[in-house]
Amino acid sequence: MTSIIPKIEAILGGEHVSTAEEDLLCYAYDATNRHYRPDAVAFPGNADEVSKILKLANQHRFFVVPRGAGTGMSGGALAVQGGLVLVMTRFSRILSIDTENFVAAVEPGVVTGHFQEVVEEKGLFYPPDPASASFSTLGGNVAECAGGPRAVKYGVTRDYVLGLEVVLPTGEIIKTGVRTAKGVVGYDLTRLMVGSEGTLGIITKIIFRLLARPEVVRTLSAVFARIHDAASTVSEIVRSGVLPRTVEYMDQAAIRCVEDHLKIGLPVDAGAMLLIDIDGSPSAVEATLGQLVPICEGKGAHEVKVAGSAQEAGELWRARKGISPALYKLGPDKMNQDIVVPRSRIPDMVEWIDDLRERTGLTIVTFGHAGDGNIHFNIMLDKRDEETLAKAESAIKELLRQTIALGGTISGEHGVGITKAPYIGMEIGTEELALMKRIKALFDPNGVLNPGKIF
């Protein structure tokens, strides 16, 4: 790599390339908390520079790993085989927001939450809302097909990407998709790129479709003695035809953990809590609340609270968003899975997890996007305790097997990366995997881009 650095510097300018130990250390991590030291870090500023670097990589056969804010949960941004980490945060411009046609063009380094705010100020709405939205960048959201709580009503990142500019692993800069509401000309390269976890190309521009900003959002919480009642409430809500903006749930362990951390008066004896947002016109939202409250009560909720103000709603969401950090009270290490089951199987899955907890004695906390059947399953442990680690690893294998058995998928929004790569064969068949590998080889014949991921 040492001999290559001057060539990279010649492309980017010396100030945008580093091999300083502190930089290598900073860009060795992502949200998986795993650690792979790259050989160098570079900060390109435009697609042309990215293209030149990828051509150089093919010529000299070094690995290139694109990276946004590093908030990914499956290791997509990690240089697991060393090489050059390409930090895309200089691609930070919102290029245009078309308030007539509800279309925006952005660079991949724009922070998700910032983009949301800017479009909302213009009366528009970008629904995808991953938990890391305050830090995550849109390029990573697209590469991983990020989800979030609002997916139950609004879908995931994929559903908002109209087109892309992408640098292929071999250096060609291509444009995919359209800027219009519809478009079916040629193969759908756009959606092949979305969720390909930075293995088929480096995104340098994104065209998003937007919606009109809903006029009002109201938040409702419902507390249940038994998690099964919460789960069957979710089924009943969906069956009723109501489509809330979010239907989140927290189990007892999650409630206790957050309350211990934030002290906001959560019901620590409850079996589960639902957190439901409704949006739309004021009259529609009122009407929906009028339907939801009796559904929750009919299913045994012993406390249903409609937040009276944005502040009250914010407090409730602070609890939900506080779970992930609060979990570390239960152990220094987290092993998390973002499984999805068909919505109606949530009660079965919850029961199965209860049994798993009992059988193994592991510290298991679950919460997630109940409206989608997307359960965030967390084992909190100290990985230095080898016995517990082995038990946790075997529990996860069991969990994923059970997920597949219930007709589910092993990842709803985090992607495969390195964390789920050992398990991909549980879900994807041999022929299908072989085809995906052939596609990877077609795009990246020398295997220079983001190696060691997915497969």
| Subset of 336-365 contacting a copy of itself (CB under 8 A) | 340-344
Q: Please choose, out of 54-62, 151-159, 325-333, 383-391, the segment that lies near a copy of itself by the rule CB under 8 A.
A: 151-159
96 is a contact residue toward a copy of itself (CB under 8 A): no
DSSP 111: B
DSSP helix/strand/coil, 217: strand
- As measured in angstroms, the least distance from the Cβ of 378 to a copy of itself is 18
Buried b vs exposed e over 49-65: b needs ≥16 C-beta within 10 Å? bbbbbbbbbbeeebbbb
Pick 92 or 235: Cβ nearer a copy of itself: 235
Q: Closest CB to a copy of itself among 19 and 46?
A: 46
Please report, as residue ranges, which positions from 18 to 57 form the binding site for a copy of itself (by CB under 8 A). Answer: none
Those residues whose C-beta lies under 8 Å from the C-beta of residue 83, and which sit 6 or more positions away, are 1, 38, 39, 40, 62, 63, 64, 65, 451
* Residue choice 9, 39, 120, 159 for contact with a copy of itself (CB under 8 A): 159
What residues between 198 and 217 interact with a copy of itself by CB under 8 A?
Answer: 200, 211-213, 215
Residue choice 96, 281, 394, 446 for contact with a copy of itself (CB under 8 A): 281
The reply to whether 451 sits near a copy of itself by the rule CB under 8 A is: no
Choose which of 53, 413, 419, 449 interacts with a copy of itself (CB under 8 A): 413
Pair type for strands 272-280 and 202-209: unpaired
| Identity of residue 277 | D
Instruction: Find the part of the chain contacting a copy of itself (CB under 8 A) among 58-66, 110-118, 278-286, 296-304.
Output: 278-286
Rg (alpha carbons) of the chain, rounded to whole number: 22
- List the strands of the sheet with 202-209, edge to edge: 94-98, 103-106, 202-209, 161-167, 173-177
Distance separating the N- and C-terminal Cα atoms of the chain = 25
Nearer to a copy of itself, 253 or 406 (CB): 406
List, in order, residues 6 or more apart from 279 with CB less than 8 Å away: 153, 214, 215, 216, 217, 218, 245, 285
Distance CA 323, CA 261 (A): 9
Out of 94, 284, 306, 418, which residue is the one contacting a copy of itself (CB under 8 A)?
A: 284
Q: Report the residue from 35, 61, 442, 446 that binds a copy of itself according to the rule CB under 8 A.
A: 442
Q: Which of 130, 331, 408, 451 forms a contact with a copy of itself (CB under 8 A)?
A: 408
Q: Which is nearer to a copy of itself, 33 or 291 (CB)?
A: 291
Q: How far apart (Å, rounded) are the C-alpha atoms in residues 83 and 392? A: 32
Asked if 429 interacts with a copy of itself (CB under 8 A), we say yes
Going by C-beta distance under 8 Å and a sequence separation of 6 or more, which residues neighbour residue 268? 252, 255, 256, 259
CA distance 156 to 153: 9
Given a contact cutoff of 8 angstroms between Cβ atoms, the answer to whether 93 and 436 are in contact is no
**Can residue 233 be called a binding residue for a copy of itself (CB under 8 A)?**
no
Closest residue by Cα to residue 218 from 238, 244, 241: 244
Q: Applying CB under 8 A, which of residues 274, 416, 448, 449 lies at the interface with a copy of itself?
A: 416
Give yes or no for residue 376 binding a copy of itself (CB under 8 A): no
Interface residues for a copy of itself in 168-187 (CB under 8 A)? 168, 172-176, 178-187
Tokens of 55: 């051509």
Q: Does 446 bind a copy of itself (CB under 8 A)?
A: no
Query: Can residue 452 be called a binding residue for a copy of itself (CB under 8 A)?
Result: no
Residue 151 near a copy of itself by CB under 8 A:
yes
What residues numbered 119-138 form the site for a copy of itself, per CB under 8 A? Answer: 123
What tokens appear for 29 in the block? 């991590």
Using CB under 8 A as the binding rule, whether residue 230 contacts a copy of itself is answered as: no
- Residue range at the interface with a copy of itself (CB under 8 A); choices 64-72, 231-239, 351-359, 376-384: 231-239
Task: Report how many residues bind a copy of itself under the rule CB under 8 A.
Answer: 90
